[in-house]
Amino acid sequence: MENEQHDIDIKTLWVDEVNYQTTLTKKYLNRKPYTPPNLKEIKAFIPGTIKEVFVKRKAKVKANDKLLILEAMKMNNLLRAPFDGTIKAIYIKEGQIVSKNFVLIEFA
């Protein structure tokens, strides 16, 4: 076989005065960069159905106020406000089916 060129990038890494060579695949080099979570967004932590929404847009809420009920795996999960704030947007309605990490409510 002739010299095949793969989509691999060779890098060197120094650890405790020892030089290591490592390969980085194209998949690794094209990975989605880490972004810190947006604390102003309430996301679905599990797929489920919205059973009830307790707040409206522009409502002021206190920490631990009820926001909504998310039914998942035959259990009702009550989501509460993590901090005091104002509701900027509500992206769901009662009866809606949501997937994991779907943005439910956004704070201003």
The model's pTM is: 0.70
- The domains of the chain, with CATH numbers, are 41-107 (2.40.50.100)
pLDDT of the residue at 72: 95
Phi then psi for residue 27, to 5 deg, are -60, -45
Q: What is the pLDDT of residue 8?
A: 57
The string of pLDDT tens digits covering residues 68-94 is 999 999 999 999 999 999 999 999 999
The four Cα atoms 85, 86, 88, 90 give a dihedral, to 10 degrees, of: 90
